[in-house]
Amino acid sequence: MATSKQNDILHVAADWWVRLRAPDANDDTVDQWLAWTQEDARHLETFERVSDLASRLGTLDQVSRQSLIQAFARPSARQRRWLPLAAAASVAVALLSGGLYLGWMRLVPGITTQVYNSAIAQNRDFTLSDGTKVALGAASTMTTQFGRNQRRIELKDGEAFFQVVHDNSRPFVVAAGDIAVRDIGTAFDVRRTGERVTIVVTQGRVEISDVNQKPGQTQRGTLEVSAGQMVSYDPNASGMTVGSMTPEQATAWRSDRLEFIDEPLAVVIANLNRYSPRPLHIADTDLDKLSYTGSIRTDAIDSWLGALPQVFPLRVNEKAGGVTLSDAEHPSRR
């Protein structure tokens, strides 16, 4: 009976292992998993066994996996006391063979990859396996690659705020386009809009460098910045610029408010689109580079759009498919 109960726990643990790594996993999924782990001390212990074994099995070739399956299918008397562990491995191998594993982990020895997504107008908070806390902005995509000697994050689009657990043996690096941000014991915000990147340090220090620089190019610099400093990178400009922004401004998006300091209108609109239920579009390219400084409530975007013609020479046209901003002086837009 005890063995049967343990096997049931193993199968549930394996199911949670898959569900937590599914593309549609969300905060509710994590809360349900936590509730399950607190029901019985064996739940978390078994889940950790499955996770560890699955990670190790990811480094095996197909022949080795098949041999392992066969070995666990016919355990010897000496192996019977290890049946719980064997069952966990068998479940992990089955998951691997079924292709579920390939959706979240690359077959690179010792490297675990996880993808995090958020929907439009949906911010997400979660904790990474090393204890680092992450707030992911709306309509953002982030990939983690954790190994024994590294912690690498790639922000593919959108915004994220990191409260990093420092570990000298495993550097924490966030890549966003051409820019790499290396933690030196800190908390910082990274926003990527296309190839434009903005970093604001709210605590401690970070090292920021251009990872795309090629031999022979003019040095665009590696910067070390501290709390209260903001670094902006534009691939069309000559290097990174340093300014200032308060921690409260940098993380205002977590309280439904976007802050911009002297940024192109095109960048502002692109970030508003991560929160707007209706897509916003700039029809005339001469409006793209209009500079904007100010605060915008993500729950009052329509009000901001209504007041925009008082600030810029443009027209706001609302249609069923979204909202278009056009040059007020453009003949074809009258």
Rounded to an integer, the average pLDDT of 205-215 is 77
- Amino acid letter for position 324: T
- Give the pair of three-digit tokens for residue 194: 């296309």
Q: How confident is the model at residue 107 (pLDDT cuts 50, 70, 90)?
A: very low
pLDDT reported for residue 302: 94
Full set of structural domains in the chain with CATH: 2-102 (no CATH), 112-247 (2.60.120.1440), 256-333 (3.55.50.30)
Query: Which of 143-152, 200-209, 261-270 has the lowest average pLDDT?
Result: 143-152
> Is the predicted pLDDT of residue 101 greater than 70, yes or no?
no
> Is the predicted pLDDT of residue 153 greater than 90, yes or no?
yes
Rounded to an integer, the average pLDDT of 52-62 is 55
> Is the predicted pLDDT of residue 329 greater than 70, yes or no?
yes
Counting beta carbons within 10 angstroms of the beta carbon of residue 76, is it exposed (0 to 12), middle (13 to 18) or buried (19 or more)? exposed
pLDDT in tens, 167-186: 888 999 999 999 999 998 88
pLDDT reported for residue 42: 84
pLDDT reported for residue 152: 93
